[in-house]
Amino acid sequence: MLNAPGLPAGFSPRPPTMADAPAVLALMNARDIADYGEPDSELEDFIYDWEEADLQHDGWLIEGPDSSLAAYGLVQTWSGGIDIECYAHPDVPQIGLQAYLLDQAERRARALLAGTAAVLPVARAFVNHGDAATGDAFVTAGYHVKKYHFRMQIDQTEPPPEPVWPTGCQLRTLRAGEDDQAIFRFIQKAFDQPGRTPPTFDEWRNFMMRPDHFLPDLWFLLTCDEEIVGAAVCYDYQPYGWVRHLAVDQRLRRQGIGTSLLQHVFGVFYRRGQMRVALGVDAANESAYRLYEQAGMQRARQFDEYHKPLG
């Protein structure tokens, strides 16, 4: 076996193929079990990304001396730069595999971004908080922690309280095709903040309405006079329910609408037999964190978001 420069003796890289998906899933879940005690990945989580990527050039597998999968990396473009995935199997000694993947990923990232309109492209990565070795590898490579994210979840043992809606407002589900532009504009406005690069409508729709996950009956819109003033965008991530977006019109915040939307979502998943409901929140968003706590959710996991300018 020939050694690649930068890798320990006996370890070799190669690009992934679709046939490697089960082995990569096993590696990712081994990492999650080591960090959080249970798996957190499904095949669909990355098959979509793989179908969008040029695996021959955008992905890497590192195999050990016994040909078992030791590490995995992938780069993807996004509106503000490049996303990097980097996983090393928890049972493999920490011998620089992440450093090799990051070096390869950044080389590929710069090639992908060459000639783009990005003023200051950024390499971004999300790392399990418990994966200290991978976090250290990012820091050594010049990354810094930009944000912390919490996974909030509730494990229901009884039906939630019935939601109360403002007078004159009605809750309904998404009318696919008819509401797409309106819910896109509402979500983007609700989460707008300085420095955020919003996706285009097509980028957003292609991701959010993927056939493998999209169920319009789990997209809930609160309207007043036909105007969207609140939304809960959810997915069925068996065995739990996932709230991708929870948003309230800024003019109507602090009136209990967010809590009512959550109670409705909890009730829907409870009746579907999914007692666990989860969502993600920026740790710096204290008001949202308090809202979720008051609704009965608890912090279950932490993810660290690393950034590095590539200009």
25 and 124 assigned to the same domain: yes
Q: Using alpha carbons only, give the angle 15, 89, 9 rounded to the nearest 5 degrees.
A: 65
Question: Which among 119, 150, 181 is the end of a domain?
Answer: 150
199 and 146 assigned to the same domain: no
Q: What CATH number is attached to the domain comprising 192? A: 3.40.630.30
Angle between helices 97-113 and 132-140 (to 10 degrees): 50
Rounded to whole angstroms, the Cα distance separating 149 from 194 reads: 18
Angle between helices 201-208 and 180-190 (to 10 degrees): 100
pLDDT-above-90 percentage for the chain: 80
Confidence of residue 147 (pLDDT cuts 50, 70, 90): very high
Rounded to whole angstroms, the Cα distance separating 183 from 234 reads: 13
In tens, the pLDDT along 78-106 reads 766 899 999 999 999 878 899 999 999 99
92 and 172 assigned to the same domain: no
Q: Which domain holds residue 50?
A: 12-150
Rounded to whole angstroms, the Cα distance separating 276 from 130 reads: 22
Domain count, the chain: 2
Cβ contact 241:270 at 8 Å: no
Residue 118 has pLDDT above 60, yes or no: no
**Residues ≥6 apart with Cβ < 8 Å to 66:** none
Helix H or strand E segment including 189: helix 180-190
Helix H or strand E segment including 201: helix 201-208
123, 162, 180, 250 from 184: Cα distances, Å? 25, 27, 6, 16
68 and 168 assigned to the same domain: no
**Residues ≥6 apart with Cβ < 8 Å to 113:** 77, 81, 82, 121, 310
The two tokens of residue 287 are: 């008001």
141 and 23 assigned to the same domain: yes
143 and 164 assigned to the same domain: no
Report pLDDT for 81. Answer: 81
195 and 132 assigned to the same domain: no
Cβ contact 126:280 at 8 Å: no
Residue 306 resides in a domain? no
Residue 256 resides in a domain? yes
255 and 231 assigned to the same domain: yes
196 and 106 assigned to the same domain: no
Asked whether the CA dihedral 164, 168, 169, 173 is positive or negative, the reply is positive
Confidence of residue 192 (pLDDT cuts 50, 70, 90): confident
Residue 304 resides in a domain? no
Residue 2 has pLDDT above 50, yes or no: no
Residue 286 resides in a domain? no
Q: Could you tell me the pTM of the whole model?
A: 0.90
